[in-house]
Amino acid sequence: MIEFRGVHHSYGDREVLRGIDLVLDGPRTGIIGANGSGKSTLARMINGLVEPASGQVLVDGLDVSRHGREVRRRVAFVFPDPEAQIVMPTVSEDIAFSLRRRRLTREAVDARIDAALARFGLADHRDHPAHLLSSGQKQLLALASVTAVEPAILVADEPTTMLDRRHTRTVMRHLEALDQQLVLVSHQLELFASWERVVVVDEGRVVADGPGVESIDFYRRLMDGETTEGGGGGASAVRHPDGGTSGPGRTDGTGPRC
């Protein structure tokens, strides 16, 4: 379970998160919002890549700022730019590198590499130089390396931006089938149409939190200027699937009505 408690964050004097109170406890949560609204900052806090200026982020009850190492063992992160996480010369070595701390036998490592390559359509590229992969293949390798670890929580920030429709479908099918908790940030709204929970972030606040279709509809209206809600107002017409308007941990009861 992931919990944000009164989280604020600024870069210099630019305030980018303005009081986030959120509990992410379902198997999948989508995060959508305008450019610069704070989605990546929020996502990066889940494994301590960014620490809140004030407030707390907890993962399974562990304060991320104080227990970073333990949290990072549970939470894996996929960056929008795969170059940021490909570190080894070949495809299979890169996946093996992500498994280095897992105390697996050589056979188990090989089995996980094979499974990850097959899952993301890279089986033919086992010994391929990683830097010579296409942009989309690099994104697939980043996903293969991270999911091979089988983290308890996977946070993926725009992991499909460079993928064609077929590979996007393959990746989404795999991500949606994971047993682990998934938090996915994306501008590809159609990915979330059937999701039970999608959070809309606007100007550093959660402005909607509910079923995918409703959150997407709210976000579209927000972007089209058909609602004055969001931004400074922090209100939302979207209800959370549990039916609550300010359920425990979902919001602080003073911010968005979810």
Ligand X SMILES: Nc1ncnc2c1ncn2[C@@H]1O[C@H](COP(=O)(O)OP(=O)(O)OP(=O)(O)O)[C@@H](O)[C@H]1O
- Looking at 19-27, 31-39, 67-75, 234-242, which segment touches ligand X (CB under 6 A)? 31-39
Q: Which of 106, 108, 107, 88 is nearest to 98 (CA)?
A: 88
Task: Tell me: does residue 139 bind ligand X (CB under 6 A).
Answer: no
Task: Tell me: does residue 105 bind ligand X (CB under 6 A).
Answer: no
User: What is the closest distance, in whole angstroms, from the C-beta atom of residue 117 to ligand X in the complex?
Assistant: 29
Q: Which of 253, 247, 257, 223 is nearest to 23 (CA)?
A: 247
- Looking at 35-43, 124-132, 168-176, 190-198, which segment touches ligand X (CB under 6 A)? 35-43
Rg of the Cα trace of the chain? 18
- Looking at 33-41, 189-197, 241-249, 250-258, which segment touches ligand X (CB under 6 A)? 33-41
- Looking at 34-42, 66-74, 220-228, 229-237, which segment touches ligand X (CB under 6 A)? 34-42
User: What is the closest distance, in whole angstroms, from the C-beta atom of residue 155 to ligand X in the complex?
Assistant: 12
CA separation for the pair 250, 258 (Å, rounded)? 8
Task: Tell me: does residue 170 bind ligand X (CB under 6 A).
Answer: no
Task: Tell me: does residue 40 bind ligand X (CB under 6 A).
Answer: yes
Q: Which residues of 112-123 are buried (b: 16+ CB within 10 A; e: fewer)?
A: bbeebbebbebe
* The only residue of 35, 61, 124, 243 in contact with ligand X, by rule CB under 6 A: 35
Closer by beta carbon to ligand X, 148 or else 154: 154
SS3 44: helix
- What is the total count of residues that contact ligand X (CB under 6 A)? 10
Task: Tell me: does residue 38 bind ligand X (CB under 6 A).
Answer: yes
The DSSP string of 69-130 is: HHHHHHEEEE-SSGGGT--SSBHHHHHHHHTTTS---HHHHHHHHHHHHHHTT-GGGTTSBG
* The only residue of 3, 5, 7, 16 in contact with ligand X, by rule CB under 6 A: 16
Task: Tell me: does residue 18 bind ligand X (CB under 6 A).
Answer: no
Task: Tell me: does residue 47 bind ligand X (CB under 6 A).
Answer: no
Q: Which of 254, 214, 202 is nearest to 238 (CA)?
A: 214
- Looking at 30-38, 66-74, 96-104, 105-113, which segment touches ligand X (CB under 6 A)? 30-38
**Contact assessment for residue 239 and residue 10, using Cβ atoms and an 8 Å cutoff:** no
Contacting positions for ligand X (CB under 6 A): 11, 16, 33, 35-41
